[in-house]
Amino acid sequence: MTGPPICPLCGRPIPEDVPQSLHHLIPKLKGGRNGPTVLLHHVCHKEIHATLSEAELARDYANIEALRAHPRLATFIAWVSKRPPGFLSRVPTKRRARQR
């Protein structure tokens, strides 16, 4: 019997009863509809989309290594990795600076 899947972003287990979601490494709107996906904690997935635009994800962050290297996501990972696997948190939308 195997254990729960591991979130590739934060490295914590993803318990069955914790919100989880599939992240398209290349956003669907940028041609990634049939591309590779990874299973993440929902809180981790929300943080990715609160930090990066679809264009940034497609252009520069289409793999887990690049996502983990992003400064804001690296700070989030360091913080969330100290939380239990079932930790839930509200993630504010759109943390990146808005263009006017």
**Whether the predicted pLDDT of 12 surpasses 60:** yes
**Whether the predicted pLDDT of 100 surpasses 50:** no
By the 8 A CB rule, do 23 and 90 touch?
no
Q: Pick 89 or 91 by higher pLDDT.
A: 89
End-to-end CA separation in angstroms for the chain: 53
**Whether the predicted pLDDT of 1 surpasses 80:** no
Helix (H, G, I), strand (E, B) or coil at 99: coil
0.75 cut: is pTM over it?
Answer: yes
Alpha carbon distances (Å) from 38 to 74, 95, 100: 18, 22, 33
How far apart CA 59 and CA 100 sit, in angstroms, is: 21
**pLDDT given for residue 87 in this prediction:** 83
**pLDDT given for residue 82 in this prediction:** 92
Helix (H, G, I), strand (E, B) or coil at 41: strand
**Averaged pLDDT, 10-29:** 93
